[in-house]
Amino acid sequence: MGAAIASVLFALLIFPARYAVLYLTREGLRLATTLGVMDEANGLGGQILGYNYFRYPAWAHWVIGCLAAAFALGISFACCLVVAHRISGSRGRATLCGICGTDVDKHGGCTMTAEGLQCPSCRTAFGDREHANSTTVGELPLVPRYVLSRLLAVIVSIGAAHVFLDRNMTMHFQNAFLHLGEATGSDVMRLSGRIGIGPHGPFYGESVAASFWNTMYGYGPTYVNAIFAGLAALATYGLVSGPLGRTRFFGYRGPTRCGGCGYSLANLNSFCCPECGRNLAKETEL
């Protein structure tokens, strides 16, 4: 349920995020021109929201576009990830072993030893190298460091993927919508073998189908680019929270805490969290 609602939220944020990307790109190119980065001798490259930008150097367009997409679209996607983990119906925050970084919940839960609860992966009791609940443990941070590093990887990946798709695939997606519209019976304006683009798009007529395909031709690539960039970011998230989730940069290191409330599980001799009542037991222990 959490993933479904987050997907709908991301779809709703694509359009405003796209305008934010255009605005940030325009201001980035304007700043680059002011700083003398853009090559004014080789002519203009186009216009963004009323601003005429210079074509070269090409790397400046890639960098500025990536930063703009990472800020606007990446933050939107990161917020959707947080929503997917927090809203009712989702699994919520995981209980992560402070020794090896394993998601205890994915491995079926904890087992009990004479020293207390034990990680099902590394078989280390949570109290072996950790302190019990005290001032030395500290409060659970609002956003743990490993979460920030994972979100940063997601934001960077969606920015890079989006600028690549926007610069290389937009025309291909437009042509795909053009061919789909023609295949379904809508008429396209052609002048001497060339496609004419009217005020509403390449399809002419007052029919609902013509209006639909004109809308898809104009705005469809924006959604397709964002969706594919989102899939790339989702794959990155799976990588940094899965195989790379045990590394020092992307994995949690610190006291093993309850995924429900953040209570330290060091030296705990019960399968039930004393703070929130969350069940921490492995299924075979029930």
Is 222 a domain residue? Answer: yes
Is 131 a domain residue? Answer: no
Is 12 a domain residue? Answer: yes
pLDDT at 132: 39
Is 102 a domain residue? Answer: no
* Cis peptide preceding 144, ω within 30 of 0: no
The pLDDT tens digits for 230-277 are 999 989 988 887 777 777 777 766 677 777 677 777 777 777 887 777
Q: Residue 213: which domain range?
A: 2-88+146-244
The two structure tokens encoding residue 89: 């119906």
Lowest mean pLDDT across 17-31, 68-82, 156-170: 68-82
Q: Per the structure, how many domains does the chain have?
A: 1
Is 94 a domain residue? Answer: no
The pLDDT tens digits for 102-133 are 777 777 777 777 767 777 777 777 765 544 34
Is 203 a domain residue? Answer: yes
The two structure tokens encoding residue 155: 């934001």
Is 159 a domain residue? Answer: yes
What is the mean predicted confidence (pLDDT) over 43-51?
Answer: 88
Lowest mean pLDDT across 51-65, 135-149, 245-259: 135-149
Is 160 a domain residue? Answer: yes
pLDDT at 284: 39
Alpha helices in 113-253 (DSSP H): 145-168, 170-183, 208-241
What is the mean predicted confidence (pLDDT) over 160-177?
Answer: 92
